[in-house]
Chains A and B, each alone.
Chain A
Amino acid sequence: MIEANKAILVVEDNPADFFATERGLRKAGLANPIVHAESGEQALDYLNGTGAFTGQGEQKPGIVLLDINLPGLNGGEVLEKIRADDRLKLLPVIMLTTSSDERDVQMAYRLGANSYIQKPVDLDGFMAALKRLKDYWFELVILPKV
């Protein structure tokens, strides 16, 4: 159960995909604030209160939805950095990506992702997946209180 005030960090470089993701989550009934990072660097800056987010302090969202294919740092590297940070180690991270490559799946789980979801190509499918994601991760599953 994620408290309603906890933010959802979505790391996605494609604005259209982000738009669709946000829409899907809202349609699924999610009320939490959604934060959009367009790159791995931006995501880490947000989490650590550095770079463009200097002065805003360290953040701990309720969950992170992480794409693999990002400009600069790719999703795997972002995941690695999150897991290396004692403060963020227990943060739930879900890979949400177009890639179904087995190598990406292996890498994600090896680096400590909590879950791996391939975005369906068709819109309806995508929306349905987001609903299931929301039901599972935001209602069913117990997450550590950190």
Chain B
Amino acid sequence: MSGLPKDSRRDPIFKLALGPVPAALPVDELQRLEALRETAVLDTAPEQTYDDLTALAAHICGTPIALISLVDRDRQWFKSRVGLAATETPRELAFCAHALLYPDELFEVEDASRDMRFAGNPLVTDKPDIRFYAGSPLLSEEGHALGTLCVIDRKPRQLDEHQRASLRTIGRLASELLRNRRQDARVHEVRERFRTVFQQTSAGIAMTDLAGRFTLVNQRFCTITGRNEAELMPMRLQDITHPDDLAASREKFERLVQYGEAFTIEQRYLRPDGGIAWVSNQISPILDTLGKATAVVAAVEDISARKSVEAQMRESEDRFIRMAQHAPLKMWITDASGACTFLNKLWCEFVGLPMQDQLGNDRSRCLHPEDAPAAHAAFAAASEARQPYRREIRLRRHDGRYHWHIDAAEPRFDDDGAFLGYVGTAVDVQSQYDANDRLERLVVERTAQLMASEARYRELADDNPAMMIRCRNEPGWPMLYVSQAVEQITGYPPSSFVGQQVLWGSLILPEDIPAMTEKLAQQLAQGTDIQVEYRIRHRDGSIRWIEGNARLKKLHDGSEIYEGMNFDITGRKAAEQALAESEQRYRQLADNNPALIFRCYNRPGWPMIYMSQAVEKITGYPASAFIEGGRRWGDMLLPEVLEETARNMDAQMAQGDVVVVSYRIRHADGSIRWLEGNARLLTLPDGEQGFEGAITDITDRKQAQLLLAERATALERATIATNAARIAPFTWYVARDYFETDALAAVLLGLEPEDAAAGTFAAYTTRVHPDDRASLSSEIERLLARGGPEFLIEFRTVSAQGRVRWIRSVGRLDVMNGERHVTGALTDSTLEIEVQRALEDRTREMERANTELDEFTYIASHDLKEPLRGIHNYTRFIAEDYADKLDAAGQKMLKAVSEQADRMQRLIEDLLEIARLGREPMKQVETDLDKVLDEVLASLAFSLGEKKVELRRQPLGTVVCDRVRVAEVFRNLVTNALKYNDKPVPVIEIGSRTGAAGNPEFYVQDNGIGIKPDFHARVFAPFKRLHAKDAYGGGSGVGLAIVKRIVEAHGGYIGVRSEVGQGATFAFTLSGGSHD
């Protein structure tokens, strides 16, 4: 240990080189300190028992100084000292700190000035000039070294064995003292802790005997039950329980006493002031070692708030139903099977059926029969999929009329997620646009939200375990003790906290810490008990709301701890939040509605409790003016209408609890407004009678009505004038279905003149002809759909006497004051229409007749040709087979038969041709007439050659015409030119020249027999022949008729110039109309 120069310690360099060498921390430092703390010895007053020990030690060892030293974190503190003035020294300088490292031994330093560890220690270099040190460690029951019992001298020395042994013994005695002290301290602490907790907890706790008589109650219990400790002591649990709840709890209590079964029950306690406290009561037995109950502990939590929340939720539900009843749109609710469980007033009024009659069925019978099956299927499909439902359907009004509606619904579920059915609305899109469409959607949303928040609340409103805590008032709040419930609340077991693996503070959500610490500081400053709310993150990641109740305590050693209880209040928080949200949304909903939604007392003046934002627009005053400012609604009404309105309301209330009134008020800006109020009488939460409903500003509507009245007079005057002209004016106010017209119109519409009073559109159109009803309706619908502006509709009416009239209705669709109306006039157009129709019919008949004629001609000639063929063939066969049996006459006769048949054939073919011309459409194309003529002449080549015809041709050119038919024309004309020619050299000239009208004129000229001028016209008539049947080769006489038809079909004309014996020139055009 030495080896250093004797005077080295005086060497300044040496002194500088060595400072005090602090001891290392023992491995169990934390536990050691904890044990030390538990011993609760630090900073206590000196005690005789300890002083005796140090005195003894000093005496036996012969040292001037003896100490009982406890080594704290940063210091050593002397419980007892002999020969030393100081009560403590810094730990770095403590010899005892070194001694801790050798808890099983006596720690001796013979000459501290020669010991490297101590040579630089001020306690050595300066007063008290320690040279010799011997310390015996003081051990806790776990074996931690808390400090030492030590002896110190100013000169270097050693102890002898006797002294050493004594020192050890005395050390053990000192340790024993400390151990006992710790025990006592612990017991004291436990008692203290219990007392704190017992009083501290926000749960009311009562202990009773097995008969239920109170033996111990805490402050909270007293607060909850409204009685103090003195009052409670003689009483029993049963005595303060509500009679209706007694039976249930009595049975369970007996089981607890008998079998030791704990239970939880929700019940009411009676307060001496007559009030009720709803509590959740957790009743457990205190068991002895045999497991028998010896006493009872009741932990009660005041759930009045929760109950009130529940009641409010129910009330909200009721409010919703009431609002639904009032809502200006139809609402329905169905259960999971699709049967109706609720239909609001508007729905029932519309369909004309009371709700009772409809409950339990689906709504199919209110739907249009065409829509019902598909709608039912769609609804069923949506139900299966638990999806929102939306469909456009026609709903049957009470009078049988169908209105298109948008039928939409949201599914609803209970807290287990089971499907409960739908909440739906039906919006009449047939009628005018209404801002309440928005209300509908909002209401549906709100309903869904209400349902959702209710579900969420139930899910989270479970029993809350409470956890007891004891922690240091240091950052993170390191736990000294925490009860088992912490595992459920946080997901970590108690050991994690006590073992410092998890700090409570680290679980708190960072965003809650500032507010929480501020509240803490506030409460600490005020000296009240701590109660804070904050959120923590559970091990599983979920967020929990915690209510922390604690009391700050200062310990003997100066440190501060919190003791208290934490509760998981997540459920309550969620319910509070949901309520706040739904309240807010309800307000938003109300504020978005242009109608003023209100709630007031049924007292004179109708003092207001709640008004939506619309009040500002409607009255010019904000809601606060009424609710807080004392302005009475009654004061808003014009004085002259106040009494009447009140009487009206009374009269309606005598009939039921729904009131509809209209009245005038004076707006803040001085103007008069017409208002209409719809309200329902109800009992408010505080027990008083009140109204809840909606008020709308109907000033515009009223003004329109007044204007209408003024116009009616003007209209009358106009009516007289138009009646003279047999025009009947009318006006139809679409939204209100208010049809206004005069006697003439009534007559035109098939009604009696007396029926001219205003009525509905339907009333006026009862006598519309059944065949025209549908088209009239759809025309009207189209007019309304496209928004006008003008229309012309024709339809028939049938009067009661059976007279049918065609009515022409013309007019416009306008919008005035936001209201759509149709104005127009009716006239009787029967005659005009009948004439027109007759004409159409006649034309159609004619066309049909022509077609039939053509067909007949075609078929007839075809069938006629067949036997002719037969005749022809047979005569041939006879001629072939029996030629040798027939004489010349016979053969001639046979030939004649054949020729007759041939003639017949040709006749028929001509007829066929005429018919064909009528049947086949003309094909007008650019035609090279010269080529056509070439073909025609080629087909007649034989005859032309045989008769040695001199042919002269001029170019004809190209023209748009039907090639086949024009060929026919040329063939006919050329054939005629050939036939009717007796000259030795027949000359035929064919050419074209410019006609009188400027278009090409074609001609076929011959030098034949000519035609008498008298017969020029007749020549074109069918079957007209000018010569004997057989003369000039015969001929059916139809040829020229055909030619004429063809030419005229082209839009041209044909004529002949001829003199008898001078030949004939037939000229025609293929366009340009007729000529004279």
**A146 close to chain B: CB less than 8 A:** no
CB of A20 within 8 Å of the partner chain: yes
Interchain CB contact under 8 A, B867 and A16 = yes
Decide: B870 and A16 in contact? CB cutoff 8 A: yes
| Residues B866 and A14 in contact, CB atoms below 8 Å apart | yes
* A17 and B876 contact, CB distance less than 8 A: no
Residues of B contacting A16 in the complex (Cβ-Cβ under 8 angstroms): 866-867, 869-870, 873-874
Residue of A nearest to B881 (CB): A23
By a CB distance below 8 angstroms, the chain A residues around B873 are: 16, 19-20, 123
Residue B738, interface by CB 8 Å? no
Residues of A within 8 A of B179 (CB): none
Q: Are B877 and A17 in contact (CB under 8 A)?
A: no
Chain B residue total in the interface (Cβ 8 A):
9
Contacting B at CB under 8 A, from A13-38, are 14, 16-17, 19-20, 23
Say yes or no for A141: interface residue by CB 8 A criterion.
no
Chain A residue contacts of B870, Cβ below 8 A: 14, 16-17
Cα–Cα distance between A7 and B843 once the two chains are bound (Å): 58
A126 to B874, CA, bound (A): 13
Contact A123 B876 (CB under 8 A): yes
A residues near B867, Cβ cutoff 8 Å: 16
B572 neighbours in A (Cβ, 8 Å): none
Interchain CA distance A123-B867 in the complex, whole Å: 13
In this assembly, does B168 line the interface, its C-beta being within 8 Å of a C-beta of chain A? no
B861-876 CB mask vs A (1 if < 8 Å, else 0) is 0000011011011101
In the complex, A17→B870 CA distance in Å?
7
Interface residues of B in 868-925 (CB under 8 A from A): 869-870, 872-874, 876-877
User: Across the two chains, which residue of chain B brings its CB closest to A98?
Assistant: B866
**B876 — which chain A residues lie within 8 A by C-beta?**
123
- Chain A residues contacting B869 (CB-CB under 8 Å) are 16, 121
Report how far A19 CA is from B881 CA in the complex, Å: 14
Contact at B877–A23, with CB atoms within 8 Å?
yes
The answer to whether B872 and A123 have CB atoms under 8 Å apart is yes
**What's the least CB distance linking A13 to chain B, in Å?**
11
Tell which of A14, A16, A17, A20 has the most Cβ of chain B within 10 Å: A16
User: A97-129: which have CB < 8 Å to B?
Assistant: 121, 123
- Complexed CA–CA distance, A143 and B380 (Å): 68
Task: Give complex CA distance A121, B866 in Å.
Answer: 10
Contacts of B872 in A (CB 8 A): 123
Determine which residue in A14, A17, A19, A123 has the highest number of CB atoms from chain B within 10 A of its CB, and name it. A123
Number of A-B contacts (CB under 8 A): 19
Q: In the assembled complex, how far is the CB of residue B875 from the closest CB belonging to chain A, in whole angstroms?
A: 10
Task: Determine the chain A residues whose CB is within 8 A of the CB of B874 once the complex forms.
Answer: 16, 19
A14 / chain B contacts, CB cutoff of 8 Å: 866, 870
> Whose C-beta in chain B lies nearest to the C-beta of A124?
B876
**Distance from B797 Cβ to chain A, minimum over Cβ atoms (Å):** 51
Q: How far is the CA of A23 from the CA of B881 in the complex (A)?
A: 11
Q: How far is the CB of B711 from chain A (nearest CB, A)?
A: 71
Q: Bound state CA distance, A121 and B867, in angstroms?
A: 12
Q: Which residues does chain B contribute within 8 Å of A121, judged by CB atoms?
A: 869
- Cα distance A123–B878 when bound, in Å? 13
Q: How far is the CB of A102 from chain B (nearest CB, A)?
A: 16
CA distance A123 to B869 in the complex (A): 9
Q: How far is the CA of A16 from the CA of B876 in the complex (A)?
A: 12
Given the complex, which residues of B lie within 8 Å of A123, measured CB to CB?
A: 872-873, 876
A113 to B867, CA, bound (A): 28
Interface string of B379-408 (1 = CB under 8 A from A): 000000000000000000000000000000
Closest to B862 in A: A98
Task: Tell me the minimal C-beta distance from A26 to chain B in angstroms.
Answer: 12
CB closest residue in chain A, given B871: A16
Task: Quote the shortest CB–CB distance from B198 to chain A (angstroms).
Answer: 107
Q: Complex Cα distance A16/B867, Å?
A: 8
Give, as a whole number of angstroms, the nearest-CB distance from B203 to chain A. 98
Min Cβ gap A95→B in Å is: 18
For the complex, what is the distance from the CA of A17 to the CA of B874, rounded to whole Å?
10
With the chains together, A23 CA to B870 CA distance in Å? 13
* Residues of chain B within 8 A of A17, CB atoms compared: 870
Q: How far is the CB of A21 from chain B (nearest CB, A)?
A: 10
From residue A81, how far is it (CB to closest CB) to chain B in Å?
Answer: 26
Which residue of chain A lies nearest to B865 when distances are taken between CB atoms in the complex?
A: A121
- Please, which residues of chain B bring their CB within 8 A of the CB of A23? 877
> In the assembled complex, which residues on chain A have CB atoms less than 8 Å from the CB atom of B866?
14, 16
- Closest residue to A126 on the B side, CB-wise? B873
Could you tell me the distance in whole angstroms from the C-beta of B873 to the nearest C-beta in chain A?
A: 5
Bound Cα distance A14, B866 (Å): 9
CA distance A20 to B871 in the complex (A): 11
**CA–CA, A20 and B870, complex, Å:** 9
Beta-carbon nearest neighbor of B876 in chain A? A123
A123 CA to B870 CA, complexed, in Å:
10
- Min CB distance, B871 to chain A, in Å? 8
Minimum Cβ distance to chain B for residue A66 (Å):
18
**Cβ–Cβ < 8 Å partners of B877 in chain A:** 19-20, 23
**Chain B residue at minimum C-beta to C-beta distance from A23:** B877
CB distance from A7 to the nearest CB of B (A): 23
Complex Cα distance A46/B716, Å? 90
- Please, how many angstroms separate the alpha-carbon atoms of A19 and B873 in the complex? 9
Output the least CB separation between A122 and chain B (Å): 9
Query: What is the minimal beta-carbon distance from A17 to any residue of chain B, in angstroms?
Result: 7
Shortest Cβ distance from residue A123 to the other chain B in the assembled complex, whole angstroms = 5
In the assembly, what is the distance between CA of A20 and CA of B876, in Å? 10
A23 to B879, CA, bound (A): 14
Give, as a whole number of angstroms, the nearest-CB distance from B880 to chain A: 9
- By beta carbon, the residue of chain A nearest B875 is A123
Query: How near does chain B come to A40, taking the closest CB pair, in angstroms?
Result: 19
Digit string of B426-449 for contact with A (CB within 8 Å is 1, else 0)?
000000000000000000000000
Distance of B277 from chain A, by nearest CB (Å): 98
Report the minimal beta-carbon distance from B935 to chain A, rounded to whole angstroms: 21
In angstroms, Cα B874 to Cα A20, docked, is 8
Give every chain B residue within 8 A of A20 (Cβ-Cβ). 873, 877
Nearest-Cβ distance from residue B898 to partner chain A, whole angstroms: 10
Q: What separation, in Å, do the CA atoms of A16 and B874 have in the docked complex?
A: 8
Nearest Cβ on chain A to B877's Cβ, whole angstroms: 6
Residue of B867, B873, B874, B876 with most chain A CB atoms under a 10 A cut-off: B873
Q: Give A23 to B876 CA distance when docked, in angstroms.
A: 12
CA distance A2 to B567 in the complex (A): 114
Q: How far, in angstroms, from A17 to B869 measured CA to CA in the complex?
A: 9
Interface flags for A123-137 (1: CB within 8 Å of B; 0: not) read: 100000000000000
Distance A119 CA – B250 CA, assembled complex (angstroms): 118
Query: Considering the chains assembled together, what is the distance between the CA atoms of A121 and B868 in angstroms?
Result: 11
Distance in Å from the Cβ of B913 to the closest Cβ of chain A? 16
**A11 and B874 alpha carbons, distance in the complex (Å):** 20
CA distance A23 to B872 in the complex (A): 15
A125 to chain B, nearest CB (A): 12
> How far does the Cβ of B872 sit from chain A's closest Cβ, in whole Å?
7
CA distance A136 to B866 in the complex (A): 28
- A43–B867 Cα distance when bound, in Å, is 23
Report B447-468 CB contacts with A as 1/0, cut-off 8 Å. Answer: 0000000000000000000000
Write the chain B residue with the least CB distance to A14: B866
- Inter-chain CA distance A20–B877, complex, in Å, is 9
Q: Tell me, in angstroms, the Cα distance from A85 to B869 when the chains sit together.
A: 36
- B908 to chain A minimum Cβ distance, whole angstroms, is 13
Cα A88 to Cα B346 with chains together (Å):
78
Contacts of A19 in B (CB 8 A): 873-874, 877
Select from chain A the residue with minimum beta-carbon distance to B870.
Answer: A16
Of B867, B869, B874, most buried by chain A (CB within 10 Å of CB) is: B869
Separation of A88 and B866 alpha carbons in the complex (Å): 32
Q: How far is the CB of B390 from chain A (nearest CB, A)?
A: 54
Can you name 12 extra interface pairs (CB under 8 A) apart from A16-B870, A16-B874, A121-B869? Answer: A14-B866, A14-B870, A16-B866, A16-B873, A19-B873, A19-B874, A19-B877, A20-B873, A20-B877, A23-B877, A123-B872, A123-B873
Q: Which 5 A-B pairs have the closest CB atoms?
A: A16-B870, A123-B873, A20-B873, A123-B876, A16-B873
A positions within 8 Å CB-CB of B: 14, 16-17, 19-20, 23, 121, 123
* 5 A-B pairs in the complex with CB atoms less than 8 angstroms apart: A16-B867, A16-B873, A17-B870, A19-B877, A20-B877
